[in-house]
Chains A and B, each alone.
Chain A
Amino acid sequence: GEDVEQSLFLSVREGDSSVINCTYTDSSSTYLYWYKQEPGAGLQLLTYIFSNMDMKQDQRLTVLLNKKDKHLSLRIADTQTGDSAIYFCAEIQMDSSYKLIFGSGTRLLVRP
């Protein structure tokens, strides 16, 4: 089956690191994505990782993938108030060329 789970809410202080977690059930997942949704806006692609990688870093963003535990995380260093948004993880599976499976989203609140 296909299921992607995320915690619903995370609150951090400005300047701290944020870690948003995601678990997935289908071991045939190939690419895993992180999207950001600001209020009233669409889904902005932040970063992605291929399933044969363990880690990917892109400026303040670090993605960690634990394939054994089917666990994906997004770390945001030096979190800013502008990072407040909903963060979705999503996967694409080997048996589907087209369909993204989304988690329920984690609402990140950055306190000044």
Chain B
Amino acid sequence: EPEVTQTPSHQVTQMGQEVILRCVPISNHLYFYWYRQILGQKVEFLVSFYNNEISEKSEIFDDQFSVERPDGSNFTLKIRSTKLEDSAMYFCASSERGLLSQGNQPQHFGDGTRLSIL
């Protein structure tokens, strides 16, 4: 069964450094997402992406965050200058469709990248 893959599984970075988290969505999916889960807290939506632009973003997704689809397969999340509070599990997800008018669009998740900021 096709799956979303994320690399690396664990990233340790010094505070203030830039970090790039990588994701390969399911190949025929058109909508891509990032979520994060701080230890002991809920899974929170960060951003959605379609047709090479951001569709929706949360308050968490400030100017320090950016997303990119640099080629036909990868989807990346960049944090420009990491802070201690960015430590979390980051999940990438993809779906075939995104608009409710097109029916259900279940999002399929990767195994996550655990980001630890020192």
Contacts and interface: CB of A to CB of B under 8 A. Distances in A.
Contact of A42 (B42, B45, B100, B111): B111
Interface string A37-59: 00011111100101000000000
B25 interface: no
A87 interface: no
A99 B42 contact: no
Q: How large is the interface on B (under 10, 10 to 19, 20 to 34, 35 or more residues)?
A: 20 to 34
9 contacts: A43-B91, A45-B108, A90-B43, A98-B55, A99-B56, A100-B35, A100-B45, A100-B107, A104-B42
Contacts of A50: 104
Contacts of A45: 106-109
Q: How large is the interface on A (under 10, 10 to 19, 20 to 34, 35 or more residues)?
A: 20 to 34
A99 B58 contact: yes
Interface in A73-112: 88, 90, 92, 94, 96-105
A42 B112 contact: yes
A48 B44 CA distance: 19
A43 B4 CA distance: 11
Nearest to B44: A102
Interface stretch (A17-25, A27-35, A61-69): A27-35
Contacts of A44: 109
A102 B109 contact: no
Contacts of B55: 97-98
A99 B45 contact: yes
Contact of A98 (B48, B104, B110): B48
A102 B110 contact: no
Contacts of B99: 97
